[in-house]
Amino acid sequence: MALDPGVATRLKRDPQGLVCAVVQQHDTGQVLMVGWMNDDALEQTLTTGRVVFWSRSRGEIWRKGDTSGNIQRVRSVSIDCDGDAVLVTVDQIGPACHTGKHSCFEEGGDLGALDVVTAAENE
Amino acid sequence: MALDPGVATRLKRDPQGLVCAVVQQHDTGQVLMVGWMNDDALEQTLTTGRVVFWSRSRGEIWRKGDTSGNIQRVRSVSIDCDGDAVLVTVDQIGPACHTGKHSCFEEGGDLGALDVVTAAENE
């Protein structure tokens, strides 16, 4: 199957032909991970109920959970105003991160940004 | 100021020298937009309390809200497991999207993905 032309024409792909895919747990709102999709991965994500990425490191289509069992069931897919990113809400089975952490951002961790709002409240 | 070397060494930049930045409202969990950051933009985001991007279309540093007034106050910045994305939680002043929609994904809209879970519940 080819990606719906009405969707394909809205995509603003990077030089590698990819758009950014933000994956969010549908009920808690937790951002679980960021992946990358080519047209084929987005088409499969839109039509099969499973989240499918393009693996930039392996250079191949990657259906999340086929190896780990930690699949992502699609709830919705939205595109942003300029077409270079999609937001995929999912029901995540098991952890999203390959390290076993629930979110890839829990694994990477906080970078200690200056938080002006909290700093002001504590003055 | 240069980006903290301890952070810089963790980044996995794309061929354009950028990482993906997902911006999320800190209290509601709404994903507002996706932007791009080079080292300088990330350094300013970590140290000034304001979200700063690299504009791929204009090819310049872009401090969100300087023109529109719709600034993003930084609450936290996390990095993901492989260093190619950061999650920035913010307090968004006004709409995040240049079109006036609160989120850029509201502006782009839903792509009508097959939702297997809801379909099964309705059988």
Q: Is A71 on the interface with B (CB under 8 A)?
A: no
Do B107 and A34 lie within an 8 Å CB cutoff? no
Burial of A25-51, coded b for 16+ CB within 10 Å and e otherwise, reads: bbeeebbbbbbbbbbebbbbbbbebbb
Interface A:B, Cβ pairs < 8 A:
155
Q: Is A34 on the interface with B (CB under 8 A)?
A: yes
Whether the pLDDT of residue B93 is over 90: the answer is: yes
Q: Which residues of A touch B41 (CB under 8 A)?
A: none
Residue in A22, A48, A107 closest to B31 by CB: A22
pLDDT of residue A5: 95
Q: What DSSP element (H or E) covers B104?
A: helix B104-108
How do residues B40-87 score in pLDDT, each as one tens digit?
999 999 999 999 999 999 999 999 999 999 999 999 999 999 999 999
ipTM: 0.94
Q: Is B91 on the interface with A (CB under 8 A)?
A: yes
Our CA angle for B106, B110, B113, nearest 5°, is 155
- Please give the model's pTM, rounded to 2 decimal places: 0.95
